[in-house]
Amino acid sequence: MRGGRRERAGRKKGIPNKLTQDIRSAIGLILKREIPALARNLKKLAVNSPGQHASIVTGLIEFSIPRLQRVEQKDISSFQELALLTPEARREKMREIAREIINQKNGKEEKS
């Protein structure tokens, strides 16, 4: 008998955790019911304390707009070199860059 997880044990990849899904639904229902009161309170807060209002609204925005990931520009000269390539060589270089980005997103940093 070997240690660790059994093969094919647990949820299939991409299927959400049932408890997490239920909790998110419950929170969603509560928030939906409280939106009118929240809007009234935010309007009052905007008049009485604009700084605090801005801080709260900024915090709430994070839940409705996905946070952008930081993208690092490695070397500006590589972009200049890209402009000098033939169209076919440029397309191939762009495919290579896209593969690198996908690998980074998947946590598979290419070893140079």
Shared domain for 31 and 55, answered yes or no, is yes
Q: Is residue 3 part of a domain?
A: no
d(CA 73, CA 9): 41
Of 34, 56, 31, which Cα lies nearest the Cα of 45?
A: 56
Cβ(85)–Cβ(93) under 8 Å?
Answer: yes
Determine the residue type at 21: Q
d(CA 49, CA 43): 10
Number of domains in the chain: 2
Q: What is the pTM of this model?
A: 0.38
Q: Is residue 101 part of a domain?
A: yes
Q: Is residue 45 part of a domain?
A: yes
Shared domain for 22 and 59, answered yes or no, is yes
Q: Is residue 7 part of a domain?
A: no
- What does the pLDDT look like over 11-67, one tens digit per residue? 777 777 788 889 989 988 998 899 899 889 999 999 999 999 888 888 888 777 777
Measured in residues, the chain has a length of 112
Shared domain for 85 and 58, answered yes or no, is no
- What does the pLDDT look like over 68-77, one tens digit per residue? 777 666 655 6
Domain range holding 36? 18-64
